[in-house]
Structure 1
Amino acid sequence: MPSPTIRPATDRDGAAIAAIYNHYIASTVVTFEELAVDATEMAARIAKVQAAHLPWLVAEEDGEVVGYAYAAPWHVRAAYRHSVEVSVYLDHQATGRGLGSLLYEALFPILKSKKIHVAIGGLTLPNPASEALHQKFGMQKVAHYHEVGRKFGQWLDVGYWQTKISEAE
């Protein structure tokens, strides 16, 4: 199998990204969204991230999108402008092959070049694979919120991991 290509997402990737994400909405608790999103909504989300001058990347194999990662503003207040929340999702049939690492290996240098100071990752807990991925990139657990979400009839915890990317000014 050829190496995956990592490239910036375009609005044409909306359907493929929505298909990946909708699996997690319908079948898991890793996202707290409960309703599927369509290609138009996903394209709008991509455009919003890119309008904030932040990266949204896709991993592509044999012309098919098999994963994505992006950085979104942490909060809207101006003082947070040097902090982002990072996310990565993989096609559920493409997990365990290092694609999440490849996406973050591409994403983090872009954030550094944009003088992003801190990257934050929010994870539904427990989630050993995602915890390991974030720790691999130097992220440390900084918060644990108990039973803050409810999906599929269960209360869910959320943890936050954080790392310094650069010395933003």
Structure 2
Amino acid sequence: MQPAEIKIRDANTGDAAAIVAIYNHYITNTTVSFETEEIDAPQMQSRISDILQANLPYLVAEDSNGNITGYAYATKWRARFAYRFSVEVSVYLAPGATGAGIGSMLYRQLFARLKQRGIHAVIAGIALPNDASIALHKKFAMTQVAEFKQVGFKFNQWLDVGYWQVLL
């Protein structure tokens, strides 16, 4: 899959089934997500709606056949009003879409939209180890600011989480 065949567009609740298909892979097969039970399209529709209602971007990567190959979004970092200029970002790619530059395409547009909205701090949590995700976040000038040891437990193992940050 060539990045030229990919377009980045705003997500909508009609994309929920395709997004769930990508996300559930990470729930059931990896430690990337700390969720342990698969979710369904109505749950994802609610999550997408919450993000859009908060006036934050939710983007999908779509190939020339109309298939969603990845997605990225921002959520509020914390609920308190003083945190209103800080967000947490996430990106997920379909298993067959990794390594093709799609994550970078999604983040490039996501970060541009966050900057347009006046967001100041962008934060990303990464379950460790995850060399590919770390490389992507470093590509966007994010630096590691924290590491929490053994804060997650999945697949009968304790997991660490690192946090990366960049100021826009």
- TM-score, normalised to structure 1's length? 0.96
Q: 1:13 aligns with which of 4, 12, 15?
A: 15
- Kindly report structure 1 stretches of 4+ aligned residues shifted beyond 2 Å: none
Look up the match of 1:26: 28
Runs of at least 5 residues in structure 1 that lack an aligned partner in the other structure? none
Tell me what 2:137 maps to: 134
Cα deviation digits, residues 34-93 of structure 1 (max 9, x gap): 011111111110000011000000000020000000000001111110000000000011
- Candidates 109, 124, 129, aligned match of 1:106: 109
Cα offset for 1:111?
A: 0.2
Aligned match of 1:56 in 55, 58, 83? 58
Give the superposed CA RMSD: 0.7
Give identity over the alignment, percent: 55
Separation (CA, whole Å) in 2 of partners of 1:63 and 1:47? 21
> Which secondary structure does the structure 2 equivalent of 1:120 belong to?
strand
Q: Deviations over 1:102-126 (max 9, x none)?
A: 0001100100000000000000001
> In the alignment, what sits opposite 1:117?
120
Secondary structure of 1:116's counterpart equals coil
SS at match of 1:59: strand
TM-score under structure 2 length normalisation:
0.97
Alpha-carbon distance between aligned partners in 2 of 1:115 and 1:57, rounded to the nearest angstrom: 18
The match for 2:71 is 68
How far apart, in 2, do the equivalents of 1:92 and 1:147 lie? 26
